[in-house]
Amino acid sequence: MRFSDMSYERPDIESVKQKMSEISEKLRSATDYQAASEAFLDMESMSRHIDTLANLAYIRHSIDTRDEFYDKEIGFWNQVSPELAEYTQIFQKNLYGSSFRSEFEKEYGSIVFKNIELDLRSFSPDLIPLMQEENELVDEYRKLLASAQIPFEDGVYTLSQLTPYKNDPDDERRLSAWKAEGIWYKENQADLDRIYDRLVHIRDEMGRKLGHDGYTE
């Protein structure tokens, strides 16, 4: 199947949350490894489906950030992805504490649980509003870069289109291309600085909400 033929439809997010809750409960209450494994595979299947839809939206949005349909879909995913992370964490906690952990490690390897341990240490429901704002700012940054129209020689170029000229064998042409790009960044400095500054503060607050001295830890 070609990428262009892959269908996209916004999921009913409340139904997704309900299904994730049911799978988490199925895992928690499993009385044997077979039932626990079925819950694990059910969540894997659902996660792949949701990730596919989200990635379809993100890629098609990146192809043309002016597309109003996918612009709205990215707004949707920016809000719901952090919300779904809370339901994923509940499932991960049940899996991490499962009495069938040794069987899971035998079949899928111990790295699964190491990754869960890291995920559990880096997420809390308290972060959801910050993650949503972070997503919106990152999207704003991408749109800003994608909107660049840089006059150079006899044409107008995007940042990507200008790249070959920045690597031109001719010293003067290469310097001119870098200067043209620099002018665009200077003209958009206020927005770039605002986005960067807010992201630094958001991520610092994330770290502190998790009990650290900042984001790096």
End-to-end CA distance of the chain: 42
- Assess whether pLDDT exceeds 90 at residue 184: yes
- Assess whether pLDDT exceeds 90 at residue 4: no
- Assess whether pLDDT exceeds 90 at residue 1: no
Q: How far apart are CA 201 and CA 185, in angstroms?
A: 22
pLDDT digits (tens, 9 = 90+) for 133-170: 999 999 999 999 999 999 999 999 999 999 999 999 99
pLDDT digits (tens, 9 = 90+) for 188-198: 999 999 999 99
pLDDT of residue 217: 86
User: In one letter, which amino acid is 57?
Assistant: A
pLDDT digits (tens, 9 = 90+) for 74-116: 999 999 999 999 999 999 999 999 999 999 999 999 999 999 9
Q: CA distances (Å), 178 to each of 50, 73, 167, 214, in order?
A: 41, 35, 9, 35
pLDDT of residue 47: 96
- Assess whether pLDDT exceeds 90 at residue 63: no
Query: What does pTM read for this prediction?
Result: 0.88
- Assess whether pLDDT exceeds 90 at residue 66: no
pLDDT of residue 65: 85
- Assess whether pLDDT exceeds 90 at residue 64: no
pLDDT digits (tens, 9 = 90+) for 7-43: 999 999 999 999 999 999 999 999 999 999 999 999 9
pLDDT of residue 125: 95
Token pair of 54 as six digits = 């989200």
Percent of the chain with pLDDT over 70: 100
pLDDT of residue 176: 97
pLDDT of residue 98: 96
> Around Cβ 74, how many Cβ atoms within 10 Å?
23
3-state secondary structure the chain: CCHHHCCCCCCCHHHHHHHHHHHHHHHHCCCCHHHHHHHHHHHHHHHHHHHHHHHHHHHHHHHCCCCHHHHHHHHHHHHHHHHHHHHHHHHHHHHHCCCCHHHHHHHHCCHHHHHHHHHHHCCCHHHHHHHHHHHHHHHHHHHHHHCCCEEECCEEECHHHHHHHHCCCCHHHHHHHHHHHHHHHHHCHHHHHHHHHHHHHHHHHHHHHCCCCCCCC
